[in-house]
Structure 1
Amino acid sequence: MAEVIEARLKELGITLPIAAAPAANYLPYVITGNLLFISGQLPNENGKVAVTGLVGRDVDVATATRAAELCAINILAQAKAALGGDLGRVKQVVKLSSFIASAPDFVEQHVVTNGASNLIANVLGEAGKHARAAVGMAALPLNASVEIEAIIEITA
């Protein structure tokens, strides 16, 4: 299965970055039993936050959707690191929780979150289909426009 996932990544033109180290006193992921919890991932690209500002004021929906895709790429990078390089151990993405830094009148958080949901499903197939939440926030760390965390069921 890992080969299929790697082929999908290549087909989609995605190169997973090296998983980012935590920026404070937390773990980038925790495995307990058969669950992998991945800490919130920002839309980092080339070592920095690529999309900043409030969606609906500073950032349009298309750019915010790309930010959500970057968060999903970083989730996959963390999962790969947590699983010793073997994304084939992903049994099911259980849930994504998406936080969107939003202008007060912005109500399309779900549309932005589709960027992450679609990318995860395209890479992992059926195992990538998940429950989710898409929540508007007043602000996020480092002025990021999007932050997404994940819960993933894994095999031993």
Structure 2
Amino acid sequence: MSNPIETRLQELDIVLPEAAAPAANYVSYVISGNMLYISGQLPTENGKIAVSGLVGADVDVPAAQRAAELCAINILSQAKAALGGDLTRIKRVVKLSSFVASAPGFTEQHIVTNGASNLIANVLGEAGKHARAAVGMAALPLNAAVEIEAIIEISA
């Protein structure tokens, strides 16, 4: 039997990287009961921050949406690691919380976050439709433009 999520990732030309190790004193994910909590993921690509700076000053909206997509790809990588490689255990992405490093006056955090929301929904279908928050921040770790965390319901 084929894995529909892996098939969809291939169709979208998305290759999940190895899940990144934590950069400080925390764990990348926690499973509690049937819930998977994934720590904030940065827009890394090939082990480096791919999009940095303040959105609305250093970073335009399309580049920030790409940053959000990279965060979503890294969320899926962490989920895959947490679930022993089996993304079909995802029952529902419950919530994404998106933090956007924003220049003063920038108010399109919700548009930036669509990069992640669209990718998650495209990969997971109905199970990828989620609640979310999109918040502007003065700065993020490592000067990342975006950071996103996830809460995911999983099957046993």
- Assess same fold via TM > 0.5: yes
Aligned partner of 1:141 in structure 2 is 141
The corresponding residue for 1:65 is 65
Aligned to 1:54: 54
Deviations 1:99-123 (A, max 9, x none): 0000011000000000000000000
The percent identity for this pair of structures is 81
Q: CA RMSD in A?
A: 0.9
CA distance in 1, matches of 2:71, 2:99: 11
Counterparts of residues 3-22 of structure 1 (less than 5 Å) = 3-22=3-22
Deviates more, 1:1-10 or 1:104-113: 1-10
Q: Once the two structures are superposed, what CA deviation does each residue of 1:52-72 show, in whole Å capped at 9, x if it has no partner?
A: 000000000000000000000
Cα shift at 1:2: 7.0
Q: Give the equivalent residue in structure 2 for 1:44.
A: 44
Residue of structure 2 in register with 1:155 after alignment: 155
Query: Alpha-carbon deviation of 1:26?
Result: 0.2
Residue matched to 1:35: 35
The runs of at least 4 aligned residues of structure 1 exceeding 3 Å deviation read: none
**SS of 2:17's equivalent?**
coil
- 3-state SS of 2:56 partner: coil
TM-score by length of 2: 0.99
Letter in 1 for 2:134: A
Question: For residues 15 and 151 of structure 1, do their structure 2 counterparts lie closer, same or farther at Cα, with a shift above 3 Å needed?
Answer: same
Take 1:63 and 1:23, find their aligned partners in 2: how far apart are those partners?
Answer: 24
Preserved contact between residue 2 and residue 86 of structure 1 (Cα < 8 Å): no
Mapped contact 1:100–1:145 kept (Cα < 8 A): yes
Q: Distance in 1 between matches of 2:111 and 2:97?
A: 14
Structure 2: gaps (5+ residues): none
- Give the secondary-structure state (helix, strand or coil) at the position aligned to 1:95: strand
1:127 paired residue number: 127
Q: Which residue of 1 aligns with 2:106?
A: 106
SS at match of 2:3: helix
Residue type of the partner of 1:71? C
Alpha-carbon separation, structure 2, partners of 1:69 and 1:62: 11
Aligned partner letter, 2:81: A
**Corresponding residue pairs, total:** 156
Deviation at 1:39, TM superposition (A): 0.1
Partner of 1:82: 82
- Counterpart of 1:136, as a letter, is G
Matched to 2:138, the amino acid is A
Structure 1 unaligned regions, length at least 5: none
